[in-house]
Every structure is written in structure tokens, then in C-alpha cells.
Structure 1
Amino acid sequence: MKVTVLGAGIIGVTTAYQLAKSGHEVTVVDRQSGPALETSFANAGEVSFGYCSPWAAPGIPQKAIKWLFMEHAPLILRPKVDWAMISWMIRMLRNCTSERYAINKSRMLRLSDYSRTSLAEIRAETGIAYDERMQGTLQLFRTQQQLDASAKDVKALAADGIPYEVLDRDGCIRVEPALRHVRDKIVGGLLTPKDETGDCFKFTNALAARAAELGVQFLYGRTVKALDIEAGTVRGVLTDQGPLKSDAVVVALGSYSPLLLKPAGISLPVYPVKGYSLTIPIVDATRAPESTVMDETYKIAITRLGDRIRVGGMAEISGYTNDLGLPRRRTLEHSVTDLFPGGDPAQASFWSGLRPMTPDGTPVIGATRIGGLFLNTGHGTLGWTMSSGSARIVADLVSGRKADIDTSDLSLQRYG
């Protein structure tokens, strides 16, 4: 089958690779000059199979009000007259209940755990290197209240059989020795030992090269203008350089997926939530992290990537804007220097990207009411984490096979 994949980020490239392995003739289209040059370029670097939670959670509405007045807030809201933004926020608030949180987190854990095994298979069959480490994620709590509130996550992890360990102060230092310098600033943590780290940009580029060896054609510098639909079935896409015909199309355009789908009559509840990162060279390894530390107070991930520290986080709801706000840089610098002053922020590179978020935190994966049109988008902050599993699912569905895990609640149909 001839399949066109729209988007050459981590989701699009892993999807193309799995489709090619399944025997399809695959073409990838992206407006950039190469793979992973937008949201996948400089993300936090954490592959968090266990630390995997929806942003919509009990207590978030109350916390959001408090965050509006914080200097180093994890959530930044810049409201505007935008029905897509308003509708998305209303839907997200509806998911901020204990019942919905448990449902959403459970299916996210199901997908991420499947992605863990899928990523291991890719690593074994390709041998690609991407500054990978397999030392877990430490969710770090600065207050007893944060530690107590983690009980709901522990319950969900236990229910889904995901390994975890609740740590006291000394336990955190055992996992991340550099924290001994700031032991008085922490009270405990939650370790998910199966989590990994790695440079998403390096991985995506290396996998794109392997996909090309399998026959995948990459068309860079092309903008997709519209889907080519005839009699309820997709026939390909229209680009700024002419039409491309295919038997199936996979939309993996991240935050821009809803804009392409809307003219086709498909309403996709995905909205861009901007995140920021710093990439800092390490000058003192004894004061740098070993793996990923999630600073729960600021919702910022601090990750070791070879001889660099990647600091990423925050959620800014401001539409399709990609400016670099200096207050956001100060927040990232504050978190990392407060815990791990082993890097040199003066030499850091500053970046921002638009994460494609759904109101319930789970990506949208699967077929649509248009024949031959499939979606693989809406992964939010967990695109790197869920990419390998999502790609396997799409390859199975396109090929007419049953996926290895339950996908009944992953498609667009869950929104009615």
C-alpha cells in the first residue's frame, strides 16, 4: 500500500519506520528542511514511561489561580478571543476530576508501557545511539504536601503494574548523588525506575536514516495545503509543490493537525501548549543529574544528556506563538541552578516548541470516518515517550492487523 505520512517529527518518523517494516511504500512530507526541527528538536529529553500523567488533574483549577501570581509559574495563560482555545480549556477542566484522572492516566500508562517495549525493539534492531540512559525518573518533592499528594499517582502505578519506589530524602540522594548538596531543600521523591532519557533530535534523525534505507522517501521543504478527498475516501494530499497520490494518509502534524483536518469536517480537540527548554553544558559533573529529575514545584524536568543538561517544562497557553519569553528562561535557570548548579547557564541555548495537547492528556491514534485517513497526534508533553508504541499501533491499523494492546479508547471516537 502507498502511504503518505504528514510530519517528520518523532511521531511521523517512527510511524514511517514501522509502516516501511510492514511492507508499505512510504512517503514523509514536512515543511522543514529535515527531521525533528520543530517540537521534537529540544524537548526535555525524558522518556517517562512511568512518570506519565495528564495535566488535567484534581486540584489543577485551584492551583492555576495560584500560579497566575507566581514568578516562576508552571502554567502561563495568555487568553485571547479564540474559540478553539476556549473550547479546549473547558474540555480540560471537565477532566479535572478524580474519576476522569484515573481513567486518563490508566490509558496513558497502557500506551507508554507498550511504547517502552517497542522502543527497546527499535534500539535492538537498529543499534542507534542518542545519549540514552536507563536510570529512571525521580519526581522530586520539596514539601510534605507534594509527597502526600503523590498517593494518587502511586495508586495508578500499582493498579497498572508499573514499577515505582517512594523515597525519603536519603533515598533521593542515593538515586541522584548530586542532591546531597541541597538535601535540606527536598523531603522525598517518587522513582519510576523503568524510565529512560535520550536526545529526541538525535534519535529521530538516526531513525529517519534507517527508514530511508528501508525505502522511505522524505520530501522536505513542502507545505501540505489540504487533504485530497473523493467520495469519503482520502486519495492523497495537495502540497505547495503539487499533489501527492496515496492509498492512505497518516496525519502526524502535531499542533497543526486540527488546522488541516477542519476543512475536511473533522474536529480534532488538540491545541498548542508551548513549552521551553535550556540546553546547558556541564562544567561540574558532581553537581549534575544522573538521569531525569522532575522538580514538582515548578513542573520542570532536568535531564542528563551526555555532557549536557536539558532543562524543560512549563505550559504556556497562548495560541500558535513561538516567541522566547525571557521570564520563562529565568524560571528554567532558577530550577536547575537551585538543585544542580553543575552547568553553565551563560552558555545555554534557549528554545521553545508547541506541544499538541488533548483535553484529557491521551493522544488521538487511529482511523477516522474518512476512508484511508489515520491520525497519530496530540501527544502533548509525551511525544518522545509514546512515539514508538503509537507508531506500532498505526502501522498495524493501516495494515489491517489488530494492535497488540487495546486501542478502543485512543481514537477520535472517544470525543463523540
Structure 2
Amino acid sequence: MSRIAIIGAGITGVTTAYALAQRGFNVTVFERHRYAAMETSFANGGQLSASNAEVWNSTATVLKGLRWMLTRDAPLLLNPLPNWHKYSWMGEFLRQIPHYRANTIETVRLAIAARQHLFSMAEREGIDFDLERRGILHVYKTRKEFDAAAKVNALLKEGGLEREPVSADEIHRIEPALDGTFHGGFFTPSDSTGDIHKFTRGLAQACERQGVEFHYDTEIASITRDQTGAFSIAATKTGQPFQQSFARVVVCAGVRSREFASMLGDHVNVYPVKGYSITVCLDDEASQQGAPWVSLLDDSAKIVTSRLGADRFRVAGTAEINGFNRDIRAERIAPLVDWTRRYFPQVNTSRVIPWAGLRPMLPSMLPKVGKGRLPGVFYNTGHGHLGWTLSAATAAGVADVIEQTSRRAA
């Protein structure tokens, strides 16, 4: 079959490569880092969470964001300095508010469909990625927060998610390690958690076993299309220039997808929304006993957790609209550490590994999956905070489109 180039070896690029290889395509992946999964797929919150599928394009979220703007440790932070990309993205984001309901329901359906794809990949290839299928528990401190969440829950259930309210007593029965007082919560037993980095690296190795070629340490300088419709990719690998031709190109480049789409004649307005995480090293028995196994989401703090094996506890959250800034800021890490101490007092936080990554977010908060303007151009990008949750389904979706296109061209 004709050669296909995939740009990016994060979770979406690698799942796409695997889906295409399974269909018999000749696949080459380009990645600027030395290994797969070194950016947004490195240390995210770990949740495979259909229960977190609510899009952010709502009036309530915008009003919260305005209140938080002047608070340095707020869950959402906006750098107000003028930038055309940022403000054009925000304008498109606001225009999506009327589609909040439909986009949320569509995201839920996609997240549910993704589960079996991902579990099948892991089982077929024997990938150990600290999977925990214990559900995800959302907790709310006040009646007002819980009532607002109940309205969102109605949308999630309309999308097909089985998710029920739980009382304060039930919260502590579901996760006994959790300290604190709550009004109530919602529990999604079908959700799960895992280490995205371990999964993606394991799946990349499976791709290589199936003949997928990876060009790591490779920067793409340009992509051009000749009169025959072939795409020429000019790149440098460890400083050495080279060029290769392909019949098709799939852009899975995360926050750089806008740049590559521009080379291919498309406008894909992905913006980098920074998130932070800490990995708490559970070095002693008391910490291991005191950390939760059930994944949590504290809605008021916008913090999520995942247990990654016996000796790691991942805590993640916040959103920062600040361009391509990857700095790890102490005032953004401190709330994650303080939250851990408050709700899990038995956990020793003397050894904590901080991280910051850029979520590739489209204004609608729905990923772009499918064809570009030019024949032979495809996209699987813009998954925002749900790349880990959605990628297995969107990879299958774009691979199906490519397969159908190939059959029609044959």
C-alpha cells in the first residue's frame, strides 16, 4: 500500500500509527523528541474519564474564569497580554457556547467508544500501564456545587454514561483514604486510570514490531505537494537534512498542529492550554496505605488524581492560557501539594516531581478528526484535556476514513 506519514508520536500519533498498521498500511512517524510521548503524553492526570467530558464552553465557566483572572493560584489563569492567536482562539471559543450541550454529549459518546479500543490494544500487545478499573469519583463540598453538577450529569447520561449520585457517607465508603467533609458526589464505575506515558511507549514498540518506521529527533522544515499529489517532507534528523515522499499525511502534532495545518492549506486553530501535575512518590508504607486507589475529581479545585501502581500518586489540574510557555511555576504547583496534604494527611509529600504540559485545544473542545482541504491530508488532533480518553476512538475513526478513501481511489 502507499506510504503514509504521521506527524507526532504522542498518544494520538501512536494510536493512529497502530490503527493504520493494523489495516495493512505502510506508516512512517515523525517526532521531534528522542522518544515517543515526551510532551503532553508524558505526565497528565491519568484519567480515562468519560465522566469529565463536559466541554468548557459555558457561560458559567466563562464567569468563573473572569473571577479567577487576578488570582495567581486559581484553577484557570489567563495572561492578558495581547496576542492574535490567543484572542482569536478565545473569540472562537465564545462562539461555541450555543453548542455546549451538543458538544458535551458528542464528547461523552466518543469517550465511551474509545474504552474498548484502548483496552483491546493493551491486551493484544501485552502493555502494562498501571491500569486501574476502579471508577472515578467526583466530589462536591456544597449543595450549590452538587446541584450544578447534577445538571451536567443529565447531559452525560444522555450521552450514554452510567453515573449515579452518592452521599457523603458513600463517598468515604468508596474511597476510605479521602479525608474531609463533602455534601455529595457522583461515581462512574466504568471509568478508569493509567499511565499514558507507559501506554504510549509500549504501543510505539508494538508499532515497530508491525513495521512502522519512527524518525525520532527529527524536525520537519516543510511539507509540499507536487503536481502528482505526492507530499514531500523536508526534515533534519539529529542535524542531518533528508527528504521523503508520501501519498498521505496525517497531522497528530498536538499544540504544533496549527503550524503544520498552515503548510497544508488548512486553518486548525489549536491553542496550547497549560496544565500542571505532580507525581507524589509513595516511599513509605504509611504513604502507600494513605493514598487513594479510586480516582478522584474535586470540581471546585479542578484537581484530578490517579494511583499509578503501589508507589506513585498523580495529582493534576489547573488551566493556564499563556501561549507556548512551558515553565513550571511554583505558585501553580503549590496548590496541588497543599490539596494532597489536606485530603490525604498520611501521605508524605517530601518527594514530589512537578511537571507542566500543553494541552492541544480547539475552540469547540472537540478534536478535529478526518480529511483536510487537500486530497491526502488528514487530521487527528486538538483533543484538549481528553487526549488520553479519546485517542483510541479517534485513531480508529481517522484510519477508517483513510481506508475508505484508499478503496475509492483503487
TM range (shorter): over 0.9
Match of 1:279 in 2: 279
Question: Deviation at 1:228?
Answer: 1.8
Q: Which moved more, 1:40-49 or 1:287-296?
A: 287-296
Residue 200 (str. 1) matches residue 196 (str. 2)? yes
Q: 1:44-63 alignment to 2 at 5 Å?
A: 44-63=45-64
Match of 1:409 in 2: none
Q: 1:312-391 alignment to 2 at 5 Å?
A: 312-391=316-395
Match of 1:396 in 2: 400
Residue 103 (str. 1) matches residue 102 (str. 2)? yes
Counterpart AA for 1:93: L
Match of 1:254 in 2: 254
TM-score by length of 2: 0.93
Q: Name the % identity.
A: 37
Match of 1:407 in 2: none
Match of 2:122 in 1: 123
Q: Which moved more, 1:36-45 or 1:72-81?
A: 72-81
SS in 2 for 1:344: coil
Unaligned runs of 5+ in 2: none
Match of 1:406 in 2: none
Residue 228 (str. 1) matches residue 227 (str. 2)? no
Given candidates 203, 207, 210, the residue that maps to 2:206 is 210
Question: Deviation at 1:234?
Answer: 5.0
Could you tell me how far apart the structure 2 residues matched to 1:385 and 1:23 are?
Answer: 25
Does the Cα contact within 8 Å between 2:270 and 2:362 map onto a contact in 1?
A: yes
Could you tell me how far apart the structure 1 residues matched to 2:245 and 2:151 are?
Answer: 48
Query: Closer, same or farther in 2 for the Cα pair 1:157/1:218, shift >3 Å?
Result: same
Question: Deviation at 1:80?
Answer: 2.6
Question: Deviation at 1:57?
Answer: 2.1
TM-score by length of 1: 0.92
Q: CA RMSD in A?
A: 1.6
Could you tell me how far apart the structure 2 residues matched to 1:288 and 1:401 are?
Answer: 49
Match of 1:14 in 2: 15
Deviations, residues 103-154 of structure 1 (Å, cap 9, x unaligned): 1101111211111121122123122110110111111111211100012221
Match of 2:154 in 1: 155
Deviations, residues 347-387 of structure 1 (Å, cap 9, x unaligned): 11111111001111111110011111100100001111111
Deviations, residues 313-354 of structure 1 (Å, cap 9, x unaligned): 111000011011110011111222221234332211111111
Does the Cα contact within 8 Å between 1:49 and 1:116 map onto a contact in 2?
A: no
Q: Which moved more, 1:186-195 or 1:337-346?
A: 337-346
Could you tell me how far apart the structure 2 residues matched to 1:107 and 1:169 are?
Answer: 30
Match of 1:171 in 2: 170
Match of 1:299 in 2: 302
Match of 1:408 in 2: none
Match of 1:244 in 2: 244
Question: Deviation at 1:71?
Answer: 5.1
Does the Cα contact within 8 Å between 2:232 and 2:243 map onto a contact in 1?
A: yes
Could you tell me how far apart the structure 2 residues matched to 1:234 and 1:367 are?
Answer: 16
Question: Deviation at 1:101?
Answer: 1.3
Counterpart AA for 1:107: E
Query: Closer, same or farther in 2 for the Cα pair 1:333/1:397, shift >3 Å?
Result: same
Counterpart AA for 2:61: I
Counterpart AA for 1:292: S
Could you tell me how far apart the structure 1 residues matched to 2:142 and 2:222 are?
Answer: 50
Counterpart AA for 1:96: I
Query: Closer, same or farther in 2 for the Cα pair 1:174/1:82, shift >3 Å?
Result: same
Could you tell me how far apart the structure 2 residues matched to 1:299 and 1:90 are?
Answer: 23
Does the Cα contact within 8 Å between 2:255 and 2:360 map onto a contact in 1?
A: yes
Could you tell me how far apart the structure 2 residues matched to 1:243 and 1:51 are?
Answer: 42
Question: Deviation at 1:7?
Answer: 0.5
Could you tell me how far apart the structure 1 residues matched to 2:386 and 2:142 are?
Answer: 26
The 4+ residue runs of structure 1 with deviation greater than 4 A are none
Unaligned runs of 5+ in 1: 403-416
Could you tell me how far apart the structure 2 residues matched to 1:44 and 1:287 are?
Answer: 19
Question: Deviation at 1:74?
Answer: 0.8
Given candidates 267, 288, 293, the residue that maps to 2:291 is 288
Deviations, residues 269-297 of structure 1 (Å, cap 9, x unaligned): 21000001100012423321112101111
Counterpart AA for 1:309: F
